[in-house]
Amino acid sequence: MPYVNIQITKDGTTKEQKRALIHGVSQVLSDVLGKHPKSTYVVITEVELEDWGVGGKSLAQYAEEKDK
């Protein structure tokens, strides 16, 4: 029973895109590992830009700097 957690930033991902991610990941696990999609759990966690950082800054800071 595979469990996959996809973490993305909250920046406008649509329901359709999330459904495509869930379907695609389930299909890859089926194709590569032979896991049945009905036993594959996929969880999408959306993280605020302020709570995701790289290079010593939050993504919100990078967005603010880009807008200047």
| Residue 66 pLDDT > 90 | no
Q: What is the pLDDT of residue 15?
A: 97
Question: Is 37 among the residues known to form the active site?
Answer: no
Whether the CB-CB separation of 47 and 8 falls below 8 Å is answered with yes
Structure confidence by residue, pLDDT tens digits, 3-20? 999 999 998 999 999 999
Side-chain-side CA neighbours of residue 9 (13 Å): 12
In the set 1, 2, 4, 62, the catalytic residue is 2
What domains sit in the chain, N to C, each tagged with a CATH number?
3-67 (3.30.429.10)
Phi, psi (degrees; rounded to nearest 5) at 57: -135, 155
